[in-house]
Amino acid sequence: MAGNTIENVRAVQGNAKAGWWLQVKGDVLVYTQSAQVTVEEIEGSFNPTIFMLRVSVAEEPGPMKGTPKPFRFQQMVKAHQFKQVQINPGEDNGLTIDIGEQKTVFLED
């Protein structure tokens, strides 16, 4: 995800009739409108209070234009299970946010 900016990332936990959930959403600034953004859980966190995600961008050929692409990840969790979310942990472009925090960061490889 070289040079892509993740903007307005927010992680929240909430409670609905179906149970507790964790939601992470934001935007990734991509270089072409046809770029694809994927979000997936990374299993095996060393800390049970940290939820780990990988956000990746597959750039596609096309006219160059900085375009924000929204992403969203939501999953059912135990009540107040997580305190933080790490995006791309262990990489130079890693980002850690507290639940309830909003952040913008420039990601470089």
Q: Report residue 72's pLDDT band, with 50, 70 and 90 as the boundaries.
A: very high
| pLDDT higher than 80, residue 69 | yes
Tell me, what's the pLDDT at 109? 40
The pTM for the full model equals 0.79
Give how many domains the chain has, as a whole number: 1
| pLDDT higher than 90, residue 95 | no
| pLDDT higher than 60, residue 66 | yes
Residue 36 belongs to some domain of the structure = yes
Range of the domain at 25: 5-102
Residue 107 belongs to some domain of the structure = no
Tell me, what's the pLDDT at 56? 87
Residue 108 belongs to some domain of the structure = no
| pLDDT higher than 90, residue 39 | yes
Residue 98 belongs to some domain of the structure = yes
Provide, for the chain, the percentages of residues in helix, strand and coil under a 3-state DSSP scheme, each rounded to the nearest 5: 0, 60, 40
